[in-house]
Structure formats: structure tokens, C-alpha cells
A and B are shown apart, each in its own frame.
Chain A
């Protein structure tokens, strides 16, 4: 939606902190490093920032938005701290774009940082809750944790159901991991860069049936930042602006025990509206940056974002569309499956989509990329946020 040249929202800066392993940095230092780099990338003067967003994730009084505003010295007049898990940043761009259109802020900084790998080790998400009364599980999770439910187990139930209903195969899911690995091989910083085959994925250790180790994302350190501003201000900045063409998000449940339909996410009921806002269809999208916490996550999102009918994602990926050279290259930075996943990956989807639309993708550049869709999944396919970004000004 265009509102004239003055307040059309654009992404004017992107940055990553250090990854995949940065034991010298704590979570807040990742936020700081990402901010320093996004100021350098964009050419924005820090004093011009008048809006700030952090999803937190490192804890209240640590990296929540108000603590971080003080720590970074951002005197904001607009703030957001929406926390929907890994998709938080897609919601942030939705909210920031609206704030910029409304004139509530003109230069908004989003930062994220996590030292998950160095601090917590590699068992996070695959292990169970700790036991004993002192570690008693509060809230709704108290009705799942005693039965051994884990994060991977929740996504495994989604995969099982998708296989049961639609005949999706492990080979088809593995194809997703293999395609993303090809892009990771072009990213010198990616966590895993070895050659990978479908047989390797299926032959890797079973973590939660039917998800093998290599169906699961990596665990790393990392952080990122975005700078959103008006098209008018971006003219005096360093980078070609990338336009926010449409954005939306929705929730179907939070805990997996409350999931109404394992094979359809909340993305299915918003994607048509977001394409309509942008005046686009799925056929207009040149590259997708999707939350690949697990291979099955991508499969469900492909269907719910309108790239194929419900149940047909397996056949769709098997046709090779998501690979380098395909019609819909996926996760051109190496994704969470092979490059980096510090806990909430949604910001990297937006960073990579922007890099592609600037034409700065180096070897991984998708030729002629003009439109990219970044779709995040938070929780257990619970909160889906999507952002359509474009190289050109919205019509």
C-alpha cells in the first residue's frame, strides 16, 4: 500500500552479528554488535533512531525492549516488544511499517541477540524438562511436560500427520535439507557445509520419528538487526531501499496440545490478504526465506503460503523448485538447517530477503530477484508471520 513518497516504509539497513560460534559474546553483546553493523550498513546516525524493537528472549531486565532501549541509548517515541517466538521479527516489520506510515516514528531499529550455543550447549530442545519439585513446570506446559513432550517431538507429530494424511515421505522432507545445504556451501560462515544427500539425511540418527537429526535445524550463537525508515529518508542513506509490500500474522494455538490442525498453520488464513495488500500472487515471488526449524516446517508453510495445494508440498519439493537454479530458491543463506539458528531465526529471514533484493547475494544471488517472501513460524507452528518485500516501489 503506497502512501506517497514521504512515508512509504522501507528496510534501509540489515546486519548480522557473529555466528555460528561466538563464545566471547553474550546475548546483549550480539544485540550491540548487530546495531553497530546496521548503522554502518545503512549510514543512519544513531541519534536519528526514534523507534525501537526487541523481542527479548534473553529474559526480562536483560534484553527486553525497555532494558535494551536504555542500554543502547535509544530515546524512542515508539516501541514494540512483540514476542511470538521465532516469527517475532516478521510481526515487528508489520508493526514498524504501520508506525512509519502513520508518522509515529521515522527511523526504527530492531535488534536481536543470543548466545544460545555457547551458553547452553547442544542438547537444548531435544532434551526433556528437568525433574524435581524445584523444577516444576508452570503454566499450560504442565499438561505436556510430564508426558515427555519435547520441542522436536511436537514437530514430529506434525510430520507424522502430514505423512499419514497426504503420503508425504522422508525422502521428500530430506530434499528440503539438501537444497538448503547447497546454499550453505556458498556461505563461508554456515555451521555445516559438507556435501549432503537425501540418503545422508535419512541415514542420520532418528531424533523424534519421523524427524532425523538432519531434518532439524542447527543450534548456534548469533544476532541481527534491521533499520526501517521512510522511502524519503532512505534516499540520503547508503543502500538501495527494500520495500515492505505487505505483512501479516496470525496464531492458531501456542502449545502443541492445543493445535487445532497439525497440517495447517495460521498462515493459511492470512496469506491471501497479504498477497492482496501487495497486489501480488505467489507466482510473483522470486525467492522464499522460510523458517526451517525442521524440514516439515517448510513443507507446511509452502502450502499455507499458496505455492502448492494442501498436501502437495512433498511432491512440490521433489520437483526441485527450492534448489539453487529452481523457480523458488529457499533460504539462500543456508537456513536454519545448515547455517545458523540461535533460538529465534525470524530476523535472518528478513536480512537475507533484503540482501537478495539489493542484489548483494554474491554467489548465492538469485538472478533478477525482485520479490521475496519471508515467513516465520513461532512456537510449534503456532504463530505465523509473513512479510513480502520488494526491490521496487509498491504500485
Chain B
């Protein structure tokens, strides 16, 4: 994977502190989603709160299967 986005002709994301780990992972060829450390709730897109319980979620790699 190239980290050069110069040739990308489609819209680009405005990367903020919360979404940066997700987009950084894409440049390494990893697809990630979030999982709540409290109850294990999984969600996408990445955000600062678990939509089930409100806790701060963690980013985990998708199995790709």
C-alpha cells in the first residue's frame, strides 16, 4: 500500500483525533472497527463513544473473512 494520496481523485476524509487511527491503519492495509472494552459491543464508523453504553471504545483489526 502506498501512503501517497496525491493521485487520489475522489473526496478525502477530514481526519481528526478520533478518526486518525482508523485512517492510519488503512494506509498499512488494515481494516479496523471499534469494540467496547466493557461489554464487547462492536461498531463502525469509529467515534469517541460506544453507542451501546457510552464508554470509550478500542480499535481492533477486522479478520478480513
Contact = CB atoms under 8 A, between A and B. Distances in A.
Interface of A: 128-133, 135-140, 142-143, 145-148, 257-258
A339 to B, nearest CB: 32
B25 to A, nearest CB: 13
A143 B11 contact: no
A142 B19 CA distance: 9
B10 A146 contact: yes
A-B complex: 10 closest residue pairs judged by Cβ atoms: A142-B13, A129-B11, A136-B14, A138-B14, A145-B11, A143-B45, A136-B12, A137-B11, A146-B11, A146-B10
B12 to A, nearest CB: 5
B12 A140 contact: no
Interface string B1-40: 0000000111111111001000000000000000000000
A131 B14 contact: no
Nearest to A135: B11
A155 B44 CA distance: 21
With most chain A CB atoms within 10 A of its CB, the pick from B8, B10, B16, B44 is B10
A329 to B, nearest CB: 41
B45 A131 contact: no
B30 to A, nearest CB: 15
Contacts of A146: 10-13
16 contacts: A129-B11, A131-B9, A136-B11, A136-B12, A136-B13, A136-B14, A136-B15, A137-B12, A137-B14, A140-B45, A142-B13, A143-B44, A146-B11, A146-B12, A146-B13, A257-B44
B20 to A, nearest CB: 11
Given A137-B12, A137-B14, 16 more contacts: A128-B10, A130-B11, A133-B12, A135-B11, A135-B12, A136-B11, A136-B15, A138-B14, A138-B16, A140-B45, A143-B45, A145-B13, A146-B10, A146-B11, A148-B10, A258-B45
Contact of A132 (B12, B13, B44, B47): B12
A131 B16 contact: no
Given A140-B45, A142-B19, A257-B45, A131 B13 contact: no
